[in-house]
Amino acid sequence: MRCREISIPTATTRNNESANDTQMKILLISTAFNGLTQRFYTELIDANYNVSVELHHGDNEKLLTGVNIFKPDLILCPFLTRHLSADIYKSYPCIIVHPGIKGDRSASSLDWAIQNNLSEWGVTLLQADEEMDAGDIWSSNTFPMRLATKSSIYNREVTETSVKCLWEVLAHFESLDFTPEPLDYKKPDVKGRFQPFMKQYDRCINWQAETSDEIIRHIHAADGSPGVLDEIYGQAVFLYNAYKEPYLTGKAGDIIATANQAICRATIDGAIWIGHLKRKVMTGAKTIKLPSTTILANLLPTEINNIEIDYRKAGKQLPCQELWYSLEDRVAYLHFEFHNGAMNTQQCELLLGMYQHIATLPVKAIVLLGGADFWSNGIHLNTIEAAERSGDESWLNINAINDIIQQLITTTDKLTISAMAGNSGAGGVMLALGADYILVRKGVIMNPYYKSMGDLFGSEYWTYCLPKRVGRKKAIEVTEQCLPISTVYAEKIGLVDKVLDNNHAIFYAQVKRFAQLLISDDVSLQAVLHKKSEKLHRDESKKSLDLYRKEELKNMYVNFYGNDKYHKARYCFVFKIPCGETPSNIALHRKKQSPIV
């Protein structure tokens, strides 16, 4: 393929709707607007490309219509689980992101790499072709594998490597001399091969023969979807969220303990913790992934030992522990590694209790570290969907997270820092805004809005914290547009204070250095704390925090009890039911085609 000559501006802008004819037009086609697609979207928007999105829900005619409306110079497919029509890839240059090394061809590429314990894997961007994953190669890069879940590796290594490949592809696309590399299995650097779709038979665990490490790899490889099908107390369930237990032992296959809503299951050489389960149901029926002890509530024998975690003690006491803190040089670091970043009512209450405990300790600063892959995504929609009265559970959950943020905002005798290593959304972003300083790892994606969830108004003191950081006009803009925000743009508008290194280890080291610099001079520290207290007092004299909360909750009450828009949207979100349309805020080409009413 001969590459096209095209002008590519480099100025950073956010107003993609004002794109002009000189900008290179890139269409993203994805099965869903997932994290990787959002990362591509924000990277390209920040670099001033003219970007639009089409979600491929299986209607090839509708997809082709959208493509022809936009007439892109290049189509990129960051996350595509359906075949692309020849009418598209023969008319436009189409590049597929494949989470595998050169030559790998499989719908379960990352699953096989994890389960087979490979030390290295990669990402390849290749041309769409009739044969899946067999097109000419535009870019390919590798990365070392970690012992981690499929979701974690996808969100970190796969995403970062894909972005590296993206910029290589764009450089190649500008070049008149570049020719993509045909797939040739005779080449020594083409080490991948065709691999079949991984079925439950391939994932099956033999508790009487496999070690803890082998079982962990099975569950890690199926994390997110589809889970590993197994049986516990006669109940067919899918297993997720596993951790190796270093001390407990028992008869292989037996449940030997519970803690933090997880179950501990013995293996031939130890035990593992399983944090989440999902019931297997008849075809067509709906089921929800929930904490293990919730799924097994009526099946667990009463004699099984429940290990109580002392949340007042520093350090992580159990592998399955989601919430803990550490102390270092007069700074407290608060970790909340909640599964997928969702925080149910009970978890919010635990987090509040731990924060209040830390606030009594002789520390000068409190750093909220959240989780490494997801900082926080706010209230727990799965738990709410599973509740007998979802409106009531929504109300309890939003008030529980509000309590945390109220405590954070009113901490005036210590500095508070939100250090965001992972992505965040909705109330999770607003939780971070309650702190004095916000640090983010480069490449993190933030979705600071609620409206896409059935016109949810939102709470978490966003009407106080967000305008205070970005101004009222920008606060309305980001919450109404419902678009992902990059760290580049977040820093530009003042949503965050500082963007730190992309590497997790370096990021955490920089966070510690930042905290130490803030507290190193007692005189300066006391001046900052005094100014902080006075500012809160002035703000409250104009409008109390209680009034902000009441006004937000008045709107949320209507969302929870006044209509069913939020409940329908939540149902579709939890059960991954696509609406069949690409939202107009990301399908800008279709928006421009809409008649003016």
User: HEC states along 81-127?
Assistant: CCCCCHHHHCCCCEEEEECCCCCCECCCHHHHHHHCCCCEEEEEEEE
- Rounded to whole angstroms, the Cα distance separating 20 from 49 reads 10
Q: How many helices (H) and strands (E) does the chain have?
A: 21, 22
Q: Hey, what CATH topology would domain 16-174 get? A: Rossmann fold (3.40.50)
Question: Using the 8-state DSSP alphabet, how is residue 155 labeled?
Answer: I
Contacts of 136 (CB under 8 A, 6+ apart): 1, 126, 127, 129, 180, 181, 182, 183
Q: CB–CB of 586/33 below 8 Å? A: yes
User: Nearest-CA neighbor of 426 among 462, 394, 393, 465?
Assistant: 462
Question: Would you call 561 helix, strand, or coil by DSSP?
Answer: helix
Note the pLDDT of residue 14: 52
Q: CB–CB of 409/595 below 8 Å? A: no
Determine what percent of the chain is predicted with pLDDT higher than 90.
Answer: 92
User: What end-to-end distance do the CA atoms of the chain give, in Å?
Assistant: 43
- Rounded to whole angstroms, the Cα distance separating 314 from 277 reads 29
Note the pLDDT of residue 579: 84
- Rounded to whole angstroms, the Cα distance separating 547 from 461 reads 10
Per-residue burial over 418-430, b = 16 or more CB atoms within 10 Å of its CB, e = otherwise: bbbbbbbbbbbbb
User: Nearest-CA neighbor of 35 among 150, 148, 167, 144?
Assistant: 150
Binned at pLDDT 50, 70 and 90, residue 573 comes out as very high
Tokens of 452: 């896409």
Q: CB–CB of 466/475 below 8 Å? A: yes
Structural element, H or E, at residue 36: helix 35-46
Q: What does the pLDDT average to over 31-54?
A: 97
pLDDT at 523 over 70: yes
Give the gyration radius of the chain's Cα atoms. 25
pLDDT at 284 over 80: no
pLDDT at 242 over 90: yes
Instruction: Please state, rounded to an integer, the average pLDDT across all residues of the chain.
Output: 94
Note the pLDDT of residue 9: 34
Q: What are the CA-CA distances from residue 49 to residues 139, 210, 444, 474, 548 (Å)?
A: 20, 50, 20, 22, 39
Note the pLDDT of residue 180: 96
**In a 10 Å sphere around its CB, with 0-12 CB exposed, 13-18 middle and 19+ buried, how is residue 130 labelled?**
exposed
Q: What does the pLDDT average to over 23-50?
A: 97
pLDDT at 48 over 70: yes
- Rounded to whole angstroms, the Cα distance separating 76 from 37 reads 9
Alpha helix (H) ranges present in 224-342?
292-295
pLDDT in tens, 341-370: 999 999 999 999 999 999 999 999 999 999
User: HEC states along 158-172?
Assistant: HHHHHHHHHHHHHHH
Note the pLDDT of residue 420: 98
**DSSP symbols for 359-388:** HTSS-SEEEEEE-SSEEE--B-HHHHHHSS
CA dihedral 464, 469, 473, 474 (to 10 degrees): -120
Binned at pLDDT 50, 70 and 90, residue 371 comes out as very high
Contacts of 159 (CB under 8 A, 6+ apart): 35, 36, 39, 443
Q: What does the pLDDT average to over 12-35?
A: 78
pLDDT at 1 over 50: no
Contacts of 546 (CB under 8 A, 6+ apart): none
Domain borders along the chain are: 16-174, 200-306, 323-503+525-563
Structural element, H or E, at residue 239: strand 235-245
Q: What does the pLDDT average to over 285-311?
A: 95
Question: Would you call 218 helix, strand, or coil by DSSP?
Answer: helix
CA dihedral 185, 188, 190, 191 (to 10 degrees): 100
pLDDT at 3 over 70: no
One-letter amino acid of 463? T
Q: What does the pLDDT average to over 471-492?
A: 98
- Compare 391 and 21 and report the one with higher pLDDT: 391
N residues, the chain: 597
pLDDT in tens, 174-207: 998 999 999 999 999 999 999 999 999 999 999 9
Q: What does the pLDDT average to over 445-472?
A: 98
Note the pLDDT of residue 594: 53
- Rounded to whole angstroms, the Cα distance separating 175 from 185 reads 26
Note the pLDDT of residue 19: 60
Q: How remote is the C-alpha of 161 from its chain's centroid? A: 17
**In a 10 Å sphere around its CB, with 0-12 CB exposed, 13-18 middle and 19+ buried, how is residue 108 labelled?**
buried
Assessment of whether the complete model's pTM goes beyond 0.85: yes
- Rounded to whole angstroms, the Cα distance separating 482 from 38 reads 12
Residue with token string 């959240």: 370
Lowest mean pLDDT among 125-134, 330-339, 478-487: 125-134
Structural element, H or E, at residue 416: strand 415-420
Among the four given CATH numbers 3.40.50.150, 3.40.50.300, 3.40.50.80, 3.90.226.10, the one describing domain 323-503+525-563: 3.90.226.10
Note the pLDDT of residue 318: 98
Note the pLDDT of residue 568: 97
Binned at pLDDT 50, 70 and 90, residue 20 comes out as low
pLDDT in tens, 483-508: 999 999 999 999 999 999 999 999 99
Tokens of 371: 């989780």
Q: Hey, what CATH topology would domain 200-306 get? A: Methionyl-tRNA Fmet Formyltransferase; Chain A, domain 2 (3.10.25)
Binned at pLDDT 50, 70 and 90, residue 22 comes out as confident
State how beta strands 137-144 and 120-127 pair.
antiparallel
